Structure 1
Amino acid sequence: MDALKRAMEQHEAAERRLTEEIARAAGRCAEYVTWAGLIPASGSIPVLGRVRGAENAPVPQAEVTLTSVEGLQLSRSEVRPDGSYAVNAPDVGSYVLITTADGYDPQESTIVVDDESVVHDVLLTSASG
């Protein structure tokens, strides 16, 4: 029985260490993963942020699309009611983030993704005329 008890304690300790390592590895990404409700695809790098309009108000009807610099669509997200979005970059490199919403001018941003999550907020301007 003592051997079984020791094995169980070792297993529980290993499980705690693994949980702590995962929490540390998540780093600054953890906050955004929580509010975006996103678990990034294996091997992908999260690109997260908020879309705002006039007077810094969220634009929940917006769509955010991540494309390669060649224009290939890689990830897409509808913006949540609080203005947050999350898309996934498949690897490190340069990408184009396109944000669109009815009544607003579309916006393109070039972003550079390294091996950590990227936070990129978008400010949309009302469409003219």
Structure 2
Amino acid sequence: MRKSIRVKLGLSAGTLMALSSAIVATPAQAATAAPNCIDAAATIRDNFGVYDVAAHHNSPDQRISHNDMVAVAGGNYAANLRDAAGVFSNNQRLFDALDTAAKGGGPDNRISPEDVAAFIARGTCG
């Protein structure tokens, strides 16, 4: 496959190797690039009040909606808060797992503090 890419792009083998090495992150780089879902959930737990009011400005209801997550992910918040929100707002499967962690059932777009705590206690992203 590399040969066909190299030929189509007109790159030398050395240039192709340099490019492919540059896009593969080391474990340390990957760890700092984005939080895993458990670390992201811990950030949300520790800052629940920020997420709670992100989309509906200072009207706390002890629930985080997808709109709240999107508002934090794309808003003027600290990078760690944006990154944690992005983990869930960009992955519906993970968002739904977080949403249903405490009581199961179907997702209701209302993540509670209990959902966050149960998700972290489970200790897995799957």
Structure 1 and Structure 2 fold alike (TM over 0.5): no
Which one has the bigger helix percentage? 2
TM-score w.r.t. the length of structure 2 is: 0.31
